Structure 1
Amino acid sequence: MIKLSTFKHIAAIGIIGAMIFAGCGITVREQHARPNRGYYQHNSRQYDYRIQNNERRIANLRNSQHRDEVIVIEVRHNNMKKKLREYKGTTRHEWDSFKREFNHDMKELDKSLKGFSKRNKRR
């Protein structure tokens, strides 16, 4: 039978060891703070495709009679490209927030391009 003092020593060593090992690992907050590079790269490639598509559409509209409107759309487009290129988020939450805002802006730009194309074809 184990003496009571030996049992206390083993229990104390076990508790101290557990506390040390628990502190050595990555915390839950740090796990969520890791950027998911594959997710970001996949989505940024999709955005690159959409941006290239918009560039072709803008190039086709440059020769229209309403050059001023095309310039405004082109500036918005270039600002979005710059925003995507300079994105430096570190967490998945930051990426999701950026993506939500960027998708909204991209949809607004698409609406502007479609609306301008329709108005331009009617004339």
Structure 2
Amino acid sequence: MKKSILTLTVITFITATILLSCKPKTNEVKDAQEKVAVARDNVQDAKDTLAMAKQSATEEEWRAFKNSGDSIVRINDRRIAALKLKIKNTGNNIDSAYQKNLYVMEVRNENLKVKMDAYKNGASNDWQSFKREFKHDTDEIGQALKDLTVDNKK
């Protein structure tokens, strides 16, 4: 009998210990919820800061970039016009590949104009990406126009 009472007492003690240890502590739960809320706020603040950094250039920077881009496009227009005039004045039959390349450069330059005019300096646009792509495109057209006048046939 003593053995069964002792076994019953041990089982009751173990069961009580398990039940009490599984019960969540309200202070710890509240602290964890507050930490999660603070972490969410920090993440949202970081996202907002990143969006503001990516979002737009200052008006002064945008104007300077637009003026620079417009002048590059105008220079390319003049070079294309000069090459067209050179073709007309020589009177020679320039091969069609040369004329086709000149036409492609003209279209790409027009596309740059449209791209510059269509860009809205706002929250939904990535300023750095636009600037990098525009510079790459203008450099590419400038190099192609230079290469167009080089005579590689020997």
Does the TM-score normalized on the shorter chain lie above 0.5? yes
Q: 1:31 to 1:101 in 2, by over 3 A?
A: closer
Match of 2:60 among 38, 46, 65: 38
Structure 2 vs 1, CA of residues 34 and 72 (structure 1 numbering), >3 Å: closer, same or farther? closer
Larger radius of gyration between Structure 1 and Structure 2: 2
Structure 1 residues 78 and 99: alpha-carbon distance in aligned structure 2, compared to 1, 3 A threshold? same
Among 95, 112, 134, the residue aligned to 1:80? 112
The letter for the 2-side match of 1:101 is E
TM-score (norm 2): 0.54
DSSP 3-state at the match of 2:120: coil
2:134 to 102, 117, 120: 102
The Cα of 1:69 is off from its aligned counterpart by 1.6
User: Which stretch of structure 1 is more off in the superposition, 42-51 or 30-39?
Assistant: 30-39
Q: CA deviation at 1:62?
A: 1.3
- Contact 1:34 1:90 (8 Å CA) reproduced: yes
Question: 1:115 matched to which residue of 2?
Answer: 147
Listed one character per residue, the Cα deviations across residues 53-79 of structure 1 (whole Å, up to 9, x for unaligned) are 111100011142232221111001101
TM-score by length of 1: 0.66
Structure 2 residue runs of 5 or longer lacking an equivalent are 1-47, 88-93
Gaps of 5+ in 1: 1-26
C-alpha change, 1:29 and 1:116, in structure 2 (3 Å) is closer
2:101 aligned partner, one-letter code: E
